[in-house]
Amino acid sequence: MNMRFIPRCVVTQLESGSRREGFHGIRPLILLAASAFPLCVSDSFPVRRRGQEVYYPTLRTKHYASEIARCVSMSASRERGEEPDHTPNFLPGVDRTKPFSRLLVGAGCFWGVEKLFRKEFGDKLRATTVGYAGGARENPLYKDVCTGQTGHYEVVEIQFFEDKTSLSDILRFFWRIHDPTTLNRQGNDVGQQYGSAVFVYSPEQRRIAEAVKEEMQSHWSAELTTAIFGGTPSLPCVRFWKAEDYHQLYLERNPRGYCNHRVRF
pLDDT digits (tens, 9 = 90+) for 4-24: 444 444 444 444 444 444 444
CA dist., res. 180 & res. 166, Å (int): 21
Residue 238 has a pLDDT of 86
Domain range summary for the chain, segments of one domain joined by + = 4-63, 73-253
Q: CA nearest 130: which of 148, 146, 112?
A: 112
Which residues make beta-bridge pairs with 157? 104, 129
Looking at residue 79, its pLDDT comes to: 55
Bigger pLDDT: 193 or 62?
193
Q: Is 237 a catalytic residue?
A: no
- Beta-carbon contacts of residue 27 (< 8 Å; ≥ 6 apart): 18
Kindly give the pairing relationship between strand 4-5 and strand 39-40. parallel
**CATH number for region 73-253:** 3.30.1060.10
pLDDT of amino acid 85: 78
The pLDDT value given to residue 56: 37
Mean pLDDT of 235-261: 94
pTM of the model: 0.72
| pLDDT computed for residue 94 by the predictor | 97
Residue 175 backbone dihedrals phi, psi, to 5 degrees:
-75, -5
The H-or-E segment that residue 40 falls in is strand 39-40
Whether residue 161 is predicted with pLDDT greater than 60 in this model: the reply is yes
> Would you state the pLDDT for residue 71?
52
The catalytic residue among 40, 109, 237, 259 is: 109
pLDDT of amino acid 77: 52
Q: Looking at residues 102-124, what average pLDDT do you find? A: 98
pLDDT one-digit tens code per residue, 181-228: 999 999 999 999 999 999 999 999 999 999 999 999 999 999 999 999
